[in-house]
Amino acid sequence: MSANLYRVAIVGAGTLKGKELKDTLNQSDFPAVDIKLLDDDESIGQLDAVGDEATFFQAVTAANLTDVKVAFFASDEAFTRKHWAVARDSGALVVDLSYALDSEKDAMLCSPWTSGEIAERNVSSQLVVPAHPAAVVLALLLERARAVAEMRTVVATIFEPASEHGRRGMDELHQQTINLLSFQPLPTAVYDAQVAFNMLARYGDKASRNLDVVERRIADHFQKIASSRVPIPSLMLVQPPIFHGHGFSVYIELEKKAAVGDFAQALAGAHVEIARAGESPNNVGAAGRDEVLVSLRRDAQNDHAFWLWAAADNLRIETLSAIEAAKQALEMRKG
């Protein structure tokens, strides 16, 4: 194998995130000579395709990780915790998209799109954690906004899509919608609450995970990846009845008055597309896009303040960040 080409494994390849990662890898310039698809026992032997070549799902074993240079974990947190050490002990760089390992001692939290990444890099570390996509979007926009003027106050509401819960979250929202329309009992294994035709600031007590935990993770990742000159926003995470794509409502109060055009020009650039006059970004329009879609307007009561409305494909942003973070980590290890 060429020294510049790598064998890659996707652990949790059958998940929504795993499938998106496979597609993004195929479309990227990542130097992968071979992509192995690994998953749980129920998926072993299932046929799939990588590019134009047929392949099948295999078990997460040391033998299947031999000579793998990068192991992307797109599995859920429990599966990642159970299997990541096998990949590490096989010598692979572990890239954790589940966030199960973001508090590990040697974990490198990465956000290639922002300038305020953690300065202390352990080049020998075998564990990379791409920052949460919502934290990446907020850090990117606020770093750009600072070019207009210093910010006095930032408040952000983030709208969490069902796809952040994987296929189970999507399926439960879908089934709740059907059951409500047919007056049937609602499935609640994931959210322990009605999400369909509803808006939630918290899930039920028996939910598979807590919105507050995700909100704290976003805030923690933001503080670690954003420039120290950017104010930490007040955050609220809510669950709307949408299947895919993050939405962001962001209030920014500047220290001085700025023109709308100057603000829009500062935000525009790599990874950000500003909506044309009369258009409004939405999660449907952001699906499959590499960019964050943004519109802005001045606040009606405070001429120093602006509202941003943004939409982004959560899985696309996360997998793009993961691939770029892996490339940077491999370069650091070579250097």
Q: What is the pLDDT along the chain (335 residues), one digit of tens a residue?
A: 455 789 999 999 999 999 999 999 999 989 888 999 999 878 887 878 787 788 889 999 999 999 999 999 999 999 999 999 999 999 999 999 999 999 998 899 999 998 755 444 555 679 999 999 999 999 999 999 999 999 999 999 999 999 999 999 999 999 999 999 999 999 999 999 999 999 999 999 999 999 999 999 999 999 999 988 899 999 999 999 999 999 999 999 999 999 999 999 999 999 999 999 889 999 999 999 999 999 999 999 999 999 999 999 999 999 999 999 999 898 887 75
CB 17 within 8 A of CB 318: yes
Sequence-ordered list of residues with C-beta below 8 angstroms from that of 234, at least 6 positions apart, any chain? 154, 155, 156
Amino acid at 235: L
User: 192: domain range?
Assistant: 135-314
pLDDT at position 74: 97
CB 56 within 8 A of CB 28: no
CATH code assigned at 152: 3.30.360.10
Residue 46 domain flag: yes
Same domain as 325, residue 211: no
Nearest Cα residue to 140 out of 327, 321, 322:
321
Q: Given this model, what pLDDT does residue 122 score?
A: 59
- Residue 106 forms part of a structural domain: yes
> Do 289 and 324 share a domain, yes or no?
no
Query: How far apart are alpha carbons 267 and 293 in whole angstroms?
Result: 11
Give the global pTM. Answer: 0.94
- Does one domain contain both 171 and 307? yes
- Same domain for 29 and 159, yes or no, is no
Per-residue DSSP letters for 210-268? -HHHHHHHHHHHHHHHS-TTSPPPEEEEEB-S-SS-EEEEEEEEESS---HHHHHHHH-
In the numeric block, which tokens belong to residue 321?
A: 């960040």
Is 226 in the same domain as 325? no
Q: Phi and psi dihedrals of 73, rounded to 5?
A: -100, 100
Whether residue 282 is contained in a domain is answered as yes
Please indicate, yes or no, whether residues 97 and 12 belong to a single structural domain of this protein. yes
- Regarding whether 257 and 110 lie in a shared domain, the answer is no
* Helix (H) or strand (E) segment spanning residue 86: helix 77-89
Q: Report the CATH number at residue 40.
A: 3.40.50.720
pLDDT of residue 5: 83
Cα distance between residue 244 and residue 160, in whole Å = 8
- Do 40 and 155 lie in a common domain? no
Tally of domains within the chain: 2
299 SS3 class: coil
Query: Are residues 118 and 163 located together in one domain of the fold?
Result: no
In a domain, 186, yes or no: yes
- Crossing angle for the helix pair 133-145 and 211-225, nearest 10 degrees? 40
Residue 152 is classified by DSSP as E
174 and 231 co-located in one domain: yes
Q: Are 143 and 227 in contact (CB under 8 A)?
A: yes
Beta partners for residue 153, in sequence order: 253
242 & 103 share domain:
no
What is the structure's pLDDT at 121?
Answer: 55
Please report whether residue 189 resides in a domain. yes
CB 16 within 8 A of CB 170: yes
**Phi and psi dihedrals of 93, rounded to 5?**
-75, 125
Q: Are residues 32 and 81 in the same domain?
A: yes
What's the confidence (pLDDT) of residue 1?
Answer: 47
Position 55 scores a pLDDT of 87
Contacts of 131 (CB under 8 A, 6+ apart): 109, 110, 111, 114, 139, 221, 222, 224, 225, 321
